[in-house]
Structure 1
Amino acid sequence: MNRSFPFRERSGVAAIGLLLVGLSSSFAHAQQTQDTNFRMEGDKPIQIESDQLEVFDQENTAIFTGNVVVVQGPTQMRSNFMKVFYSDKKEQPSQGEAKPASTTGQNSSDIDRIEVGGKVYVNSGTQTATGDEGSFDMRANVLRLTGKEVVLSDGGNVLTGCALTVQTETGKARLEACGGNRVRMVISPDSE
Protein backbone atom coordinates (compact mmCIF):
# COMPACT_ATOMS: atom_id res chain seq x y z
CA MET A 1 0.00 0.00 0.00
CA ASN A 2 1.34 3.42 -0.94
CA ARG A 3 0.41 6.27 1.40
CA SER A 4 1.53 9.86 1.73
CA PHE A 5 1.26 11.43 5.18
CA PRO A 6 3.41 13.18 7.80
CA PHE A 7 6.36 11.11 9.02
CA ARG A 8 5.46 11.81 12.64
CA GLU A 9 2.71 9.25 12.23
CA ARG A 10 5.34 6.52 11.76
CA SER A 11 7.92 5.47 14.26
CA GLY A 12 11.50 5.79 13.13
CA VAL A 13 12.21 9.46 13.64
CA ALA A 14 15.13 8.35 15.80
CA ALA A 15 16.77 6.93 12.69
CA ILE A 16 17.27 10.42 11.37
CA GLY A 17 18.98 11.32 14.62
CA LEU A 18 21.24 8.30 14.24
CA LEU A 19 22.15 9.46 10.76
CA LEU A 20 23.16 12.80 12.18
CA VAL A 21 25.07 11.10 14.98
CA GLY A 22 26.84 8.93 12.41
CA LEU A 23 27.83 11.88 10.30
CA SER A 24 28.90 13.88 13.30
CA SER A 25 30.89 11.00 14.71
CA SER A 26 32.60 10.46 11.37
CA PHE A 27 33.64 14.05 11.10
CA ALA A 28 34.91 14.24 14.64
CA HIS A 29 37.07 11.16 14.16
CA ALA A 30 38.23 12.03 10.66
CA GLN A 31 39.41 15.40 11.92
CA GLN A 32 40.82 13.84 15.10
CA THR A 33 39.91 16.93 17.09
CA GLN A 34 39.63 16.98 20.86
CA ASP A 35 36.44 19.05 20.84
CA THR A 36 33.71 19.07 18.24
CA ASN A 37 30.46 20.93 17.64
CA PHE A 38 28.91 17.74 16.23
CA ARG A 39 27.34 16.07 19.24
CA MET A 40 24.62 13.55 19.94
CA GLU A 41 21.53 15.46 20.99
CA GLY A 42 19.37 12.54 22.09
CA ASP A 43 17.28 14.75 24.36
CA LYS A 44 16.48 17.24 21.59
CA PRO A 45 13.54 16.92 19.20
CA ILE A 46 14.16 16.08 15.55
CA GLN A 47 12.44 18.24 12.96
CA ILE A 48 12.05 16.87 9.43
CA GLU A 49 10.74 18.83 6.46
CA SER A 50 10.44 17.84 2.82
CA ASP A 51 8.28 18.65 -0.18
CA GLN A 52 6.77 15.15 -0.10
CA LEU A 53 6.73 11.97 1.96
CA GLU A 54 5.62 8.57 0.71
CA VAL A 55 5.39 5.53 2.96
CA PHE A 56 5.33 2.10 1.33
CA ASP A 57 4.08 -0.28 4.04
CA GLN A 58 4.58 -3.51 2.10
CA GLU A 59 8.14 -2.56 1.13
CA ASN A 60 8.89 -1.19 4.63
CA THR A 61 10.25 2.07 3.25
CA ALA A 62 9.60 5.77 3.69
CA ILE A 63 10.84 8.22 1.05
CA PHE A 64 11.27 11.95 1.64
CA THR A 65 11.74 13.95 -1.57
CA GLY A 66 12.47 17.55 -2.41
CA ASN A 67 14.37 19.94 -0.17
CA VAL A 68 14.79 17.49 2.71
CA VAL A 69 15.90 19.26 5.88
CA VAL A 70 16.55 17.45 9.17
CA VAL A 71 17.38 19.48 12.27
CA GLN A 72 18.32 18.24 15.73
CA GLY A 73 19.79 20.71 18.18
CA PRO A 74 22.58 22.64 16.43
CA THR A 75 22.99 20.01 13.69
CA GLN A 76 21.31 20.33 10.30
CA MET A 77 21.29 17.91 7.35
CA ARG A 78 20.02 18.84 3.88
CA SER A 79 19.61 16.63 0.82
CA ASN A 80 17.33 16.20 -2.19
CA PHE A 81 15.98 12.87 -0.97
CA MET A 82 16.10 10.50 1.96
CA LYS A 83 14.94 6.88 1.98
CA VAL A 84 14.39 5.03 5.25
CA PHE A 85 14.32 1.21 5.22
CA TYR A 86 12.67 -0.37 8.25
CA SER A 87 11.58 -3.80 9.41
CA ASP A 88 8.29 -4.41 11.20
CA LYS A 89 8.55 -5.73 14.72
CA LYS A 90 5.09 -7.20 15.15
CA GLU A 91 6.17 -10.17 17.20
CA GLN A 92 6.47 -9.77 20.95
CA PRO A 93 9.59 -10.95 22.79
CA SER A 94 9.35 -14.40 24.37
CA GLN A 95 8.80 -14.76 28.11
CA GLY A 96 11.80 -13.46 30.04
CA GLU A 97 13.30 -11.79 26.97
CA ALA A 98 13.79 -8.05 27.28
CA LYS A 99 12.02 -5.77 24.86
CA PRO A 100 14.35 -3.68 22.70
CA ALA A 101 14.45 -0.05 23.73
CA SER A 102 13.01 2.41 21.27
CA THR A 103 14.19 5.98 21.27
CA THR A 104 10.81 7.10 19.94
CA GLY A 105 8.87 5.35 22.67
CA GLN A 106 7.28 3.09 20.05
CA ASN A 107 8.24 -0.47 19.21
CA SER A 108 6.41 -0.86 15.90
CA SER A 109 9.47 -0.78 13.64
CA ASP A 110 13.26 -0.81 13.59
CA ILE A 111 15.33 1.11 11.09
CA ASP A 112 17.66 -1.06 9.00
CA ARG A 113 19.31 1.65 6.92
CA ILE A 114 18.98 5.20 5.66
CA GLU A 115 20.07 6.50 2.28
CA VAL A 116 20.36 10.19 1.37
CA GLY A 117 21.30 11.73 -1.95
CA GLY A 118 21.26 14.58 -4.35
CA LYS A 119 23.93 16.68 -2.67
CA VAL A 120 24.18 15.89 1.03
CA TYR A 121 25.10 18.71 3.41
CA VAL A 122 25.58 18.38 7.18
CA ASN A 123 26.47 21.35 9.37
CA SER A 124 26.93 21.95 13.08
CA GLY A 125 28.64 25.09 14.32
CA THR A 126 31.87 25.56 12.39
CA GLN A 127 31.93 21.99 11.05
CA THR A 128 30.52 20.91 7.68
CA ALA A 129 30.47 17.63 5.73
CA THR A 130 29.33 17.44 2.09
CA GLY A 131 29.01 14.71 -0.53
CA ASP A 132 26.72 13.48 -3.28
CA GLU A 133 25.25 10.46 -1.48
CA GLY A 134 25.26 8.93 1.95
CA SER A 135 24.08 5.81 3.74
CA PHE A 136 23.89 4.64 7.31
CA ASP A 137 23.59 0.91 8.00
CA MET A 138 21.93 0.85 11.41
CA ARG A 139 22.58 -2.87 11.97
CA ALA A 140 26.31 -2.72 11.20
CA ASN A 141 26.71 0.85 12.54
CA VAL A 142 28.52 1.91 9.37
CA LEU A 143 28.19 5.32 7.79
CA ARG A 144 29.30 6.02 4.22
CA LEU A 145 29.43 9.41 2.49
CA THR A 146 30.48 9.38 -1.18
CA GLY A 147 30.65 11.64 -4.18
CA LYS A 148 32.72 13.26 -6.84
CA GLU A 149 34.20 15.14 -3.90
CA VAL A 150 33.57 14.54 -0.19
CA VAL A 151 34.62 17.57 1.82
CA LEU A 152 34.98 17.77 5.60
CA SER A 153 35.74 21.21 6.99
CA ASP A 154 36.13 22.89 10.35
CA GLY A 155 36.85 26.58 9.98
CA GLY A 156 39.90 26.79 7.73
CA ASN A 157 40.82 23.10 8.10
CA VAL A 158 39.65 20.99 5.14
CA LEU A 159 39.82 17.26 4.28
CA THR A 160 38.92 16.18 0.73
CA GLY A 161 38.43 12.73 -0.79
CA CYS A 162 35.71 10.73 -2.56
CA ALA A 163 34.50 8.19 0.00
CA LEU A 164 34.26 8.41 3.77
CA THR A 165 33.46 5.23 5.71
CA VAL A 166 32.97 5.32 9.46
CA GLN A 167 32.37 2.54 11.94
CA THR A 168 30.31 4.57 14.39
CA GLU A 169 30.72 2.23 17.37
CA THR A 170 34.51 2.31 17.26
CA GLY A 171 34.98 5.72 15.67
CA LYS A 172 37.32 4.23 13.06
CA ALA A 173 37.12 6.39 9.93
CA ARG A 174 38.62 6.02 6.47
CA LEU A 175 38.70 8.72 3.79
CA GLU A 176 39.51 7.39 0.32
CA ALA A 177 41.01 9.33 -2.58
CA CYS A 178 39.34 10.04 -5.92
CA GLY A 179 40.54 7.86 -8.80
CA GLY A 180 44.28 8.34 -9.27
CA ASN A 181 44.40 11.33 -6.93
CA ARG A 182 45.27 11.46 -3.26
CA VAL A 183 43.40 12.47 -0.12
CA ARG A 184 44.02 16.15 0.58
CA MET A 185 44.20 17.92 3.93
CA VAL A 186 44.65 21.64 4.44
CA ILE A 187 45.38 22.83 7.97
CA SER A 188 44.95 26.51 8.67
CA PRO A 189 47.23 27.89 11.40
CA ASP A 190 44.51 30.40 12.31
CA SER A 191 41.93 27.70 13.08
CA GLU A 192 41.28 26.79 16.69
Structure 2
Amino acid sequence: MKGMAVNGFRAGVAALALCLLPLVAQAQGAEVAFGGLQHDSTLPVEVTADQLRVDQADGTAVFTGGVVIGQGTMRLSADRVLVNYAAETGDSTGRIERLHATGNVVLVNGAEAAESQEAVYSIDAGTVVMTGSVLLTQGQNALSGERLVVDLARGTGTMEGRVKTIFQSGGGE
Protein backbone atom coordinates (compact mmCIF):
# COMPACT_ATOMS: atom_id res chain seq x y z
CA MET A 1 0.00 0.00 0.00
CA LYS A 2 2.83 2.43 0.87
CA GLY A 3 4.61 1.59 -2.40
CA MET A 4 1.44 2.38 -4.34
CA ALA A 5 1.20 5.79 -2.64
CA VAL A 6 4.83 6.61 -3.47
CA ASN A 7 4.37 5.41 -7.07
CA GLY A 8 1.19 7.50 -7.32
CA PHE A 9 3.09 10.51 -6.00
CA ARG A 10 5.89 9.95 -8.53
CA ALA A 11 3.37 9.61 -11.36
CA GLY A 12 1.69 12.83 -10.24
CA VAL A 13 5.03 14.66 -10.15
CA ALA A 14 5.92 13.34 -13.63
CA ALA A 15 2.51 14.35 -15.02
CA LEU A 16 2.91 17.82 -13.50
CA ALA A 17 6.31 18.22 -15.12
CA LEU A 18 4.93 17.20 -18.53
CA CYS A 19 2.04 19.67 -18.23
CA LEU A 20 4.47 22.50 -17.54
CA LEU A 21 6.74 21.96 -20.56
CA PRO A 22 5.66 25.08 -22.52
CA LEU A 23 7.88 27.41 -20.50
CA VAL A 24 11.38 26.02 -19.89
CA ALA A 25 14.63 27.69 -18.78
CA GLN A 26 17.95 25.83 -18.57
CA ALA A 27 21.09 26.72 -16.61
CA GLN A 28 24.11 25.13 -14.91
CA GLY A 29 23.02 25.99 -11.36
CA ALA A 30 20.14 27.72 -9.60
CA GLU A 31 19.52 29.09 -6.13
CA VAL A 32 15.96 28.55 -4.98
CA ALA A 33 13.83 29.88 -2.14
CA PHE A 34 12.49 27.07 0.04
CA GLY A 35 10.04 28.83 2.33
CA GLY A 36 8.07 25.62 2.84
CA LEU A 37 11.24 23.67 3.58
CA GLN A 38 12.29 25.94 6.44
CA HIS A 39 12.40 23.55 9.34
CA ASP A 40 13.37 23.11 13.00
CA SER A 41 15.97 20.33 13.11
CA THR A 42 15.83 20.17 16.93
CA LEU A 43 12.41 18.44 16.84
CA PRO A 44 12.25 14.70 17.62
CA VAL A 45 12.81 12.28 14.72
CA GLU A 46 10.32 9.43 14.25
CA VAL A 47 11.26 6.49 12.01
CA THR A 48 9.01 3.66 10.82
CA ALA A 49 10.09 0.78 8.59
CA ASP A 50 9.54 -2.90 7.87
CA GLN A 51 12.89 -3.93 9.37
CA LEU A 52 15.63 -2.57 11.65
CA ARG A 53 19.20 -3.78 12.12
CA VAL A 54 21.30 -2.13 14.86
CA ASP A 55 25.10 -2.30 15.12
CA GLN A 56 26.22 -1.13 18.58
CA ALA A 57 29.89 -1.53 17.62
CA ASP A 58 29.84 1.26 15.00
CA GLY A 59 26.85 3.24 16.33
CA THR A 60 24.59 2.73 13.32
CA ALA A 61 21.14 1.45 12.55
CA VAL A 62 19.76 0.41 9.16
CA PHE A 63 16.05 0.73 8.44
CA THR A 64 14.73 -1.05 5.34
CA GLY A 65 11.43 -1.51 3.57
CA GLY A 66 8.99 1.38 3.26
CA VAL A 67 11.03 3.68 5.50
CA VAL A 68 9.24 6.89 6.55
CA ILE A 69 11.00 9.48 8.69
CA GLY A 70 9.08 12.34 10.25
CA GLN A 71 10.36 15.43 11.97
CA GLY A 72 7.78 18.12 12.56
CA THR A 73 5.96 18.64 9.25
CA MET A 74 8.84 17.26 7.18
CA ARG A 75 8.63 13.69 5.84
CA LEU A 76 11.41 11.70 4.18
CA SER A 77 10.69 8.30 2.65
CA ALA A 78 13.08 5.79 1.05
CA ASP A 79 13.76 2.11 0.51
CA ARG A 80 16.70 2.12 2.95
CA VAL A 81 18.03 4.56 5.58
CA LEU A 82 21.33 4.30 7.43
CA VAL A 83 21.26 6.17 10.75
CA ASN A 84 24.51 7.37 12.32
CA TYR A 85 24.32 8.20 16.02
CA ALA A 86 26.47 10.88 17.66
CA ALA A 87 29.24 9.62 19.91
CA GLU A 88 31.03 11.14 22.89
CA THR A 89 34.22 9.55 24.21
CA GLY A 90 33.60 6.54 22.00
CA ASP A 91 30.07 5.82 23.29
CA SER A 92 26.87 6.45 21.36
CA THR A 93 24.74 9.24 22.82
CA GLY A 94 21.54 7.92 21.25
CA ARG A 95 21.17 11.25 19.43
CA ILE A 96 20.82 10.95 15.65
CA GLU A 97 23.59 12.81 13.84
CA ARG A 98 23.02 11.85 10.20
CA LEU A 99 20.50 10.00 8.02
CA HIS A 100 21.60 8.51 4.68
CA ALA A 101 18.59 7.53 2.54
CA THR A 102 18.83 5.50 -0.68
CA GLY A 103 16.33 4.24 -3.22
CA ASN A 104 13.13 6.08 -4.19
CA VAL A 105 13.88 9.02 -1.90
CA VAL A 106 11.07 11.56 -1.45
CA LEU A 107 11.29 14.65 0.79
CA VAL A 108 8.02 16.49 1.48
CA ASN A 109 7.35 19.60 3.54
CA GLY A 110 4.18 21.59 2.97
CA ALA A 111 3.48 22.18 -0.73
CA GLU A 112 7.08 21.43 -1.70
CA ALA A 113 8.36 17.98 -2.59
CA ALA A 114 11.66 16.66 -3.92
CA GLU A 115 12.62 13.22 -5.12
CA SER A 116 16.02 11.70 -5.87
CA GLN A 117 18.04 8.50 -5.79
CA GLU A 118 19.89 9.41 -2.59
CA ALA A 119 19.75 11.95 0.27
CA VAL A 120 21.89 12.76 3.30
CA TYR A 121 20.25 14.69 6.16
CA SER A 122 22.85 16.14 8.54
CA ILE A 123 20.70 17.01 11.53
CA ASP A 124 23.15 19.25 13.44
CA ALA A 125 23.97 21.24 10.29
CA GLY A 126 20.30 21.38 9.30
CA THR A 127 21.06 20.42 5.69
CA VAL A 128 19.70 17.88 3.26
CA VAL A 129 21.80 16.98 0.21
CA MET A 130 19.85 15.12 -2.47
CA THR A 131 21.67 13.55 -5.43
CA GLY A 132 20.82 11.61 -8.57
CA SER A 133 18.06 12.82 -10.91
CA VAL A 134 16.60 15.32 -8.45
CA LEU A 135 13.11 16.64 -9.18
CA LEU A 136 11.71 19.45 -7.03
CA THR A 137 8.13 20.70 -7.25
CA GLN A 138 6.93 23.90 -5.64
CA GLY A 139 3.23 24.33 -6.27
CA GLN A 140 2.87 24.24 -10.06
CA ASN A 141 6.57 24.89 -10.76
CA ALA A 142 9.21 22.19 -11.22
CA LEU A 143 13.01 22.20 -11.09
CA SER A 144 15.36 19.34 -11.89
CA GLY A 145 19.10 18.74 -11.66
CA GLU A 146 21.68 16.29 -10.34
CA ARG A 147 22.24 17.72 -6.83
CA LEU A 148 20.06 19.75 -4.48
CA VAL A 149 21.45 21.21 -1.25
CA VAL A 150 18.75 22.47 1.15
CA ASP A 151 19.51 24.67 4.15
CA LEU A 152 16.52 23.94 6.39
CA ALA A 153 17.25 26.74 8.88
CA ARG A 154 17.35 29.45 6.20
CA GLY A 155 14.71 27.94 3.93
CA THR A 156 17.00 28.11 0.87
CA GLY A 157 18.54 25.66 -1.51
CA THR A 158 20.87 25.30 -4.47
CA MET A 159 20.22 23.01 -7.44
CA GLU A 160 23.30 22.00 -9.42
CA GLY A 161 24.16 19.98 -12.51
CA ARG A 162 22.38 20.88 -15.77
CA VAL A 163 19.43 22.52 -14.07
CA LYS A 164 16.10 22.59 -15.88
CA THR A 165 13.41 24.92 -14.57
CA ILE A 166 9.74 24.81 -15.51
CA PHE A 167 7.52 27.74 -14.49
CA GLN A 168 3.79 27.90 -14.88
CA SER A 169 3.10 30.99 -17.01
CA GLY A 170 -0.18 31.74 -15.27
CA GLY A 171 -1.93 32.23 -18.63
CA GLY A 172 -5.24 30.48 -19.28
CA GLU A 173 -6.51 28.77 -22.39
Regarding TM over 0.5, the answer is yes
1:116 is matched with: 101
- Whether 1:187 and 2:167 are equivalent positions in the alignment is yes
8 Å contact kept, 1:45–1:73: yes
Give deviations 1:76-123, integer Å, cap 9, x for gaps. 2110011111233258xxxxxxxxxxxxxxx92444422101111011
d(CA) in 1 for partners of 2:128, 2:69:
17
Identity of aligned residues (%): 27
Aligned to 2:23: none
Query: Is the alpha carbon distance of 1:57 and 1:167 closer, same or farther for their aligned partners in structure 2, counting shifts above 3 Å?
Result: same
Is it true that 1:164 corresponds to 2:148 in the alignment?
Answer: yes
How many angstroms apart in 1 are the aligned matches of 2:165 and 2:141? 7
Task: Check conservation: 1:89, 1:110, Cα contact below 8 A.
Answer: no
Matched, 1:40 2:42: no
* Partner Cα separation in structure 1 for residue 156 and residue 74 of structure 2: 21
1:136-184 CA distances to partner (integer Å, 9 max, x unpaired)? 345665532011x10111111111001113455666643222xxxx311
CA contact (8 A) 2:32 2:156 kept: no
Length-normalised TM-score, structure 2 = 0.66
- Residue 77 of structure 1 corresponds to which residue in structure 2? 76
Between the aligned partners of 2:150 and 2:43, the Cα distance in structure 1 is 24
Contact 2:113 2:138 in 1 (8 A): yes
Inter-CA distance 140–123: structure 2 relative to 1 (3 Å threshold): closer
Indicate the SS of the match to 2:36. coil
Q: Which has the higher contact order (CA 8 A, sep 6+)?
A: 2
| Residue 32 of structure 2: aligned partner | 31
Letter in 1 for 2:88: K
Query: 1:51 & 1:82 partners in 2: Cα distance?
Result: 12
Q: Which residue pairs with 1:175 in the alignment?
A: 159
More strand by share: 2
> Unaligned regions of 5+ residues in structure 1, if any?
1-28, 92-106
- Partner SS for 1:37: helix
Check whether the contact 2:52–2:64 (CA below 8 A) recurs between aligned residues: yes
Pair 1:88–1:109, CA change in 2 (3 A): farther
- Give structure 2 stretches of 5+ with no counterpart: 1-29
CA RMSD, Structure 1 to Structure 2 (Å): 3.1
**Equivalences for residues 93-132 of structure 1 within 5 A:** 108-132=93-117
Q: If the length of structure 1 is used for normalisation, what is the TM-score? A: 0.60
Query: For residues 6-25 of structure 1, what are the structure 2 equivalents within 5 Å?
Result: none
Q: 1:170 & 1:39 partners in 2: Cα distance? A: 6
